[in-house]
């Protein structure tokens, strides 16, 4: 009985279609969005943005899952354009696990990101600590999807060289990447120790990584006050479209709305109000973004309430934030 049950489950799993990445969308001439995703039971994939430059495609962030990175590779192949460069906005693995797969397909692609990755994969670093947890989990009983997610993380960490920059972005500057000029901005501690965001003058598109996410900001490695300053810096550029790390592209008005919701949320988390009140205010403030998305509407207050507790327990910031 048990054997046949296992067999049935195995067959069902094998027969299930692998998830598909959402279709690529053109944002402006020569600028494309590969939307990320957030499937039940799985970790998220961040959005990827592709700029067609003189030397080939410049791919901003590479997702976590194979179907996301495969879609980026398929897009490049279909357009007969090499991937000339990869930029990681930050080292969170929902934005960088695909690096190795893109480089295997396009060995000349060079990775541009900050050196913050070196601290988190070093002794005692954030990812090193999580890897210990994942390895001990791998020996226990898990749902197949969960096991797959843990294995993706372990595989990425076992090839962590693909997360390290070929070209270190250690300061804000105007530089050519893949032959195309970008205004590259490097934050001094926001979502992580150092985040990259880019402004493209030609399209007036800003690619801002996890400085903006829905249904809530992710604070696991964050310095919330520095983050607020980074949002002000984004606002100061004349962008017309901002591409967040997760969620839909935003107009200036939408970005302004998210930025003020973020500020109010941090003020609330630093204050005396009940965590549930901060979470309710957050959900109300960002309601225009979650309209029609029942799952996002459910998750927004849950995540926000969790993060208020998290921030309060850790002096208003992540324990991995080194800023005062």
For the chain, the three-class secondary structure string (H helix, E strand, C coil) is: CHHHHHHHHHHHHHHCCCCCCCCCEEEECCEEEECCECCCCCCCECCEEEEEECCEEEEECCCCCHHHHHHHHHHHHHCCCCEEEEECCCCCCCCCCCHHHHHHHCCCCEEEECCHHHHHCCCCCHHHHHHHHHHHHHCCCCCHHHHHHHHHHHHHHHCHHHHCCCEECCCCEEEEECCEEEEEEECCCCCCCCCEEEEECCCCEEEEECCCCCCCCCCCCCCHHHHHHHHHHHHCCCCCEEEECCCCCECHHHHHHHHHHHHHHHHHHHCCCCHHHHHHHHHHHCHHHHCCCHHHHHHHHHHHHHHHHHHHHCCCCCCCCCCC
- Whichever of 106 and 265 has its CB closer to Zn ion, that residue is 265
Pairing between β-strand 25-28 and β-strand 31-34 as defined by DSSP bridges: antiparallel
Sheet with strand 56-60: strands edge to edge: 25-28, 31-34, 48-53, 56-60, 83-87, 110-113, 167-168
Per CB under 5 A, 55 contacts Zn ion: no
Report the nearest approach of Zn ion to the CB of residue 135 (Å).
23
Q: Cβ closer to Zn ion: 111 or 281?
A: 111
Rule CB under 5 A: is residue 53 a binding residue for Zn ion? Answer: no
Residue number, 48 or 160, with CB nearest to Zn ion: 48
Instruction: Single out the segment in contact with Zn ion by CB under 5 A; choices: 63-71, 106-114, 202-210, 219-227.
Output: 202-210
Distance in Å, CB of 81 to Zn ion, minimum: 26
Nearer to Zn ion, 94 or 195 (CB): 94
Decide whether 94 or 285 has the Cβ nearer to Zn ion. 94
Q: Which is nearer to Zn ion, 44 or 56 (CB)?
A: 44
**84/157 with CB nearer Zn ion:** 157
Rounded to whole angstroms, the Cα distance separating 48 from 69 reads 9
Report whether 91 contacts 192 (CB < 8 A).
yes
What binding mask, one character per residue, do residues 80-119 give for Zn ion by CB under 5 A, x or -?
A: ------------x-x-------------------------
Assess 245 for contact with Zn ion (CB under 5 A): yes
On whether the CB atoms of residues 64 and 54 are closer than 8 A, the answer is no
Q: How far is the CB of 224 from Zn ion (least distance, A)?
A: 16
Q: Which range touches Zn ion (CB under 5 A), out of 60-68, 191-199, 210-218, 289-297?
A: 210-218
Nearest distance from C-beta of residue 195 to Zn ion, angstroms: 11
210 binds Zn ion (CB under 5 A): yes
How many C-beta neighbours within 10 Å does residue 97 have?
27
Q: Quick one: which of 46, 217, 247, 301 contacts Zn ion (CB under 5 A)?
A: 46
**CB of 210: closest distance to Zn ion in angstroms?**
5
210 or 285: CB nearest Zn ion: 210
Min dist CB 227 to Zn ion, Å, is: 14
Least distance in angstroms from the C-beta of 95 to Zn ion: 5
* Number of residues located near Zn ion, criterion CB under 5 A: 5
From the CB of 9, what's the least distance to Zn ion, in Å? 31
- Minimal distance in Å, beta carbon 176 to Zn ion? 26
Q: Does 149 bind Zn ion (CB under 5 A)?
A: no
Which lies closer to Zn ion via its Cβ, residue 48 or residue 281? 48
User: Applying CB under 5 A, which residues contact Zn ion?
Assistant: 46, 92, 94, 210, 245
């Amino acid at each position: 009985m048990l054997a046949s049950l296992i067999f049935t489950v195995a067959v069902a799993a094998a027969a299930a279609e692998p998830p598909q990445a959402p279709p690529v969308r053109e944002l402006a001439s020569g600028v494309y969005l590969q939307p990320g995703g957030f499937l039940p039971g799985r970790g998220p994939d961040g959005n990827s943005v592709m700029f067609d430059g003189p030397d080939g495609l410049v791919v901003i962030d590479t997702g976590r899952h194979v179907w996301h990175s495969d879609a980026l590779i398929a897009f490049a192949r279909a357009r007969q354009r090499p991937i000339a460069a990869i930029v990681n906005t930050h080292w969170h693995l929902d934005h960088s696990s695909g690096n190795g797969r893109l480089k295997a397909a396009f060995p000349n692609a060079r990775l541009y990101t900050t050196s913050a990755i070196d601290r988190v994969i070093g002794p005692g670093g954030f990812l090193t600590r999580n890897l210990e947890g994942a390895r001990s989990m791998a020996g226990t009983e898990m749902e197949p999807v969960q096991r797959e997610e843990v294995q993706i993380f372990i595989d990425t960490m076992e090839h962590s060289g693909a997360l390290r920059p070929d070209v270190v972005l250690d300061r804000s500057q105007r530089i050519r990447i893949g032959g195309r000029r970008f205004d590259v901005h490097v934050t001094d501690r926001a979502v992580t120790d150092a985040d990259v965001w880019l402004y493209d003058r030609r399209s007036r598109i800003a690619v801002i990584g996890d400085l903006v996410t829905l249904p809530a900001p992710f604070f696991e490695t964050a310095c919330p006050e520095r983050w607020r300053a980074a949002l002000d810096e984004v606002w100061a550029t004349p962008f017309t479209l901002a591409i967040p790390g997760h969620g839909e592209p935003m107009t200036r008005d939408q970005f302004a709305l998210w930025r003020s919701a973020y500020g109010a949320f941090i003020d609330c988390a630093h204050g005396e109000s009940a965590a549930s009140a901060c979470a309710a205010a957050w959900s109300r403030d960002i309601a225009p973004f979650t309209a029609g998305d029942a799952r996002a509407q459910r998750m927004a207050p849950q995540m926000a309430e969790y993060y208020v507790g998290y921030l309060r327990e850790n002096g208003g910031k992540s324990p991995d934030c080194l800023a005062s």
